[in-house]
Chain A
Amino acid sequence: MTSLQGNPVSNGIGVGPVIIYEPFSWETSQGEISPDETEDMVLRYQQAKQKAKKELERMIEAFSTTDPEKGKIFTAHLDVLFDEVMEEEILGLIQDDLTPPDRAVDEIYGAYIHLLEKTKDPLIRERAADLRDVRSRLLRCWAGKEEKNLSSLPKPVVVVAKDLFPSDTATLDREKVLAIVTEVGGATSHSAIIARSFEIPALLGVAGITERLQEDQTVIVDAVEGRLYCDPTPQEIEQYSRRREEYLLHMSQVKKYLNVEPVTPDGRRIEVELNIACATPQELAGAAYTDGVGLFRTEFLYMGRDRLPTEEEQFQVYRKVLEAFQGRPVTLRTLDIGGDKKLDCLALPKEENPFLGNRALRLCLSHPQMFKTQLRAALRASVYGNLWMMFPMVSSMEDIHQAKAAVQEAKNELEMEGIPYSEDMKLGVMIEIPAIALMADQIAKEVDFASIGSNDLCQYLTATDRMNPAVAEYYRSFHPAMFRLIGYAAQPFLSEGKEIGVCGEMGGDPLSAAVLIGLGITRLSMGASSVPHIKKLITGLSYERAKEIAQKVQHTALAQDVRRLLQEELQQLL
């Protein structure tokens, strides 16, 4: 079975007959128009423009109630259609150079498409597709042809095209499109965004595919693995059809759990929180179905720029996140840089062992001015919500004292300046260095909460550089020692009545999350895609059973046995 690779921008599986979709294509008029024709030609050009405008307005109107976001694509097209600069140049070509209007449109749009495609910014490069779309619409209106699109298809099909214009994807008949395959297009293209919002499996960037396939030939689009199978056998078709059903069933089941309250069958409420980094609208949308932010990585504010972010810039971002989560905890982790993460705006000396070096809190303590800027920004933002501040890479009580002193100094400054901050802000630490885990009884008295960073904890506990592929097999997050240590560290916090959570990979993996719950952890923080899976686990796993599982795991010798045991025990809950 011939298989081709593609970029699976919208996950899923589609099996069915191919329709090769070719948008309107044109050949522009040759030669020159005669000078006495110009007035008439300009008039016809304006009429074509009006027709294109009407089509766009109809589309905006149609989407205004169903999906205003898609309507915006066509509003943007109106801006392009009525662009002053292009208009002037097109009229110039018609009136002064006697260029036929269709060729004038083709040339001027072509020039600006070229200009936008040359820019460095991928978002702007994608906008060239909008110009192509408008050009095609305008030239079709000029040619007096009606719109041919994917809005009414005779049967369910796999749509194969060189590229799809935003207008093609926005109007396509979602009930009849099994999958989309194109030769060009990236993960941020309109086609990708719309395919995802329609939940249509889409494989983009499959080179030469329109030449290879024939109309009506049956293909398998595996937009999970990123493969296209061109001539499948009946058995393979059967197999993938089944896989498609399973996938759809699984997704619909999982999605049901997104908005469920995460309570175990025996009534233990687990807080399910989000890990966020960039404070994008998509990330903040997670506020609708989570209990807060368990890990707000602030590094992104410092990355890809040549100056450190100002206090004001940071304040604005922190405030935005706090407001989005409306009083639920937002756990802001102070700058965690060094080792694997470097900055352009801060020259750091090369270290032999960056993971054991001057990073995270250590780095902040050695750059007091930079640290204070962040602390002041966070304190100022604290009045807009429920801020928890957390320090990474804490190895001793001394570290905590120093960090607290830095916070106190920032508070004193703000007080002197009469700037308000919240007195209720909690202060906590990351538990990712074994030394601090072993000091948990002392630490639990000193801080308000702790969060276990399982990735670094595993690296430090097993002495395995997680960036070094040569030792990848030694990095075992199911190492029984991990669960023993986490249980040991969690206990004092639980008896002090203080919050203890997990924000590393382990929190978002249902297998390890089950053990964490059994160890008494009540806060799990994870990426948005893990939320429904973890909620499904919580609603099906009693605390009593989780405790039994956690006991077994801690008394198992091999990491691989731990994993197998968990897979067996939790089979029904994954």
Chain B
Amino acid sequence: MYTKTATVKNETGLHARPASEFIACAKQFKSKLLIKLLSSGEEVNAKSIVMLLSLGAGQGELVQISADGEDETQAVDTLVDLIHSGFGEL
């Protein structure tokens, strides 16, 4: 189990296109991946577009990503970097 937190920087948050990019990235990994919205405590499957949308992580929100599996470190680090990159919106 490996966990890291990240702040959502891009203006639209994890919606629409950024959400699709996030899912596409998450699906490359074998580990079980979860994303948690720290303000609400809600935690969902990070490979599911509908769950990610329902989470509604907006700009400025803190999220925690955790993974369990053979590529857990790489998965979490890659997703955290993706969030910090701002999905090309910054």
A119-B90 contact in complex given A85-B48, A112-B50, A127-B16, C-beta closer than 8 Å? no
Contact of B50 among A85, A120, A121 (CB under 8 A): A85
A83-B54 contact in complex given A72-B17, A320-B90, C-beta closer than 8 Å? no
Distance, CA A86 to CA B13, complexed state (A):
23
Q: Does B15 contact A79, Cβ atoms closer than 8 Å?
A: no
A121-B15 contact in complex given A75-B20, A76-B20, A79-B23, C-beta closer than 8 Å? yes
Set of chain B residues within 8 Å of A121, measured between Cβ atoms: 13, 15, 56, 58
Q: Does A124 contact B56, Cβ atoms closer than 8 Å?
A: yes
Q: Does A112 contact B15, Cβ atoms closer than 8 Å?
A: no
Shortest B8–chain A CB gap in Å is 13
A42 at interface, CB cutoff 8 A: no
Shortest A290–chain B CB gap in Å is 22
Interface flags for B4-35 (1: CB within 8 Å of A; 0: not) read 00000001110111001001100000000000
Q: Does A79 contact B45, Cβ atoms closer than 8 Å?
A: no
Shortest A488–chain B CB gap in Å is 42
Q: Which of A357-395 contact B (CB under 8 A)?
A: none
B49 at interface, CB cutoff 8 A: yes
Shortest A276–chain B CB gap in Å is 14
Q: Does A115 contact B48, Cβ atoms closer than 8 Å?
A: no
Q: Does B51 contact A85, Cβ atoms closer than 8 Å?
A: yes
Q: Does A123 contact B48, Cβ atoms closer than 8 Å?
A: no
Distance, CA A258 to CA B8, complexed state (A):
37
Interface flags for A120-131 (1: CB within 8 Å of B; 0: not) read 110110010001
Contact of B47 among A84, A120, A320 (CB under 8 A): A84
Contact of B45 among A84, A124, A127, A131 (CB under 8 A): A84
B53 at interface, CB cutoff 8 A: yes
Q: Does A127 contact B53, Cβ atoms closer than 8 Å?
A: yes
Shortest B77–chain A CB gap in Å is 22
Contact of B54 among A80, A112, A316 (CB under 8 A): A112
Distance, CA A195 to CA B54, complexed state (A):
27
Distance, CA A472 to CA B83, complexed state (A):
48
B69 at interface, CB cutoff 8 A: no
Q: Which of A273-331 contact B (CB under 8 A)?
A: 280, 305, 316, 320
Set of chain B residues within 8 Å of A115, measured between Cβ atoms: 50, 54
Q: Which of A52-74 contact B (CB under 8 A)?
A: 72
Distance, CA A305 to CA B51, complexed state (A):
25
Interface flags for B41-79 (1: CB within 8 Å of A; 0: not) read 000110111110110101010000000000000000000
By secondary structure, the A interface counts as helix
Q: Does A305 contact B60, Cβ atoms closer than 8 Å?
A: yes
Set of chain A residues within 8 Å of B58, measured between Cβ atoms: 121
A343 at interface, CB cutoff 8 A: no
Interface flags for A78-94 (1: CB within 8 Å of B; 0: not) read 01100111100000000
Set of chain A residues within 8 Å of B47, measured between Cβ atoms: 84
A116 at interface, CB cutoff 8 A: yes
Shortest A174–chain B CB gap in Å is 24
Closest residue of chain B to A307, judged by CB?
Answer: B60
Q: Does B50 contact A131, Cβ atoms closer than 8 Å?
A: yes
Q: Does A79 contact B12, Cβ atoms closer than 8 Å?
A: no
Set of chain B residues within 8 Å of A116, measured between Cβ atoms: 50, 53-54
A83-B15 contact in complex given A112-B54, A115-B54, A320-B90, C-beta closer than 8 Å? no
Set of chain B residues within 8 Å of A112, measured between Cβ atoms: 50, 54
Q: Does A85 contact B45, Cβ atoms closer than 8 Å?
A: yes
Distance, CA A115 to CA B53, complexed state (A):
10
Q: Which of A126-152 contact B (CB under 8 A)?
A: 127, 131
Distance, CA A104 to CA B45, complexed state (A):
20
Set of chain A residues within 8 Å of B45, measured between Cβ atoms: 84-85
Contact of B49 among A80, A120, A305, A320 (CB under 8 A): A80
Distance, CA A270 to CA B11, complexed state (A):
34
Shortest B39–chain A CB gap in Å is 12
Distance, CA A499 to CA B24, complexed state (A):
50
A83-B16 contact in complex given A316-B90, A320-B90, C-beta closer than 8 Å? no
Set of chain A residues within 8 Å of B16, measured between Cβ atoms: 76, 123, 127
A residues contacting B by CB (< 8 A) are 72, 75-76, 79-80, 83-86, 112, 115-116, 119-121, 123-124, 127, 131, 280, 305, 316, 320
A-B residue pairs in contact (CB < 8 Å), sample of 19: A76-B16, A76-B20, A79-B20, A79-B24, A80-B49, A84-B45, A86-B48, A112-B50, A112-B54, A116-B50, A119-B53, A119-B56, A121-B13, A124-B53, A124-B54, A127-B15, A127-B16, A131-B50, A280-B11
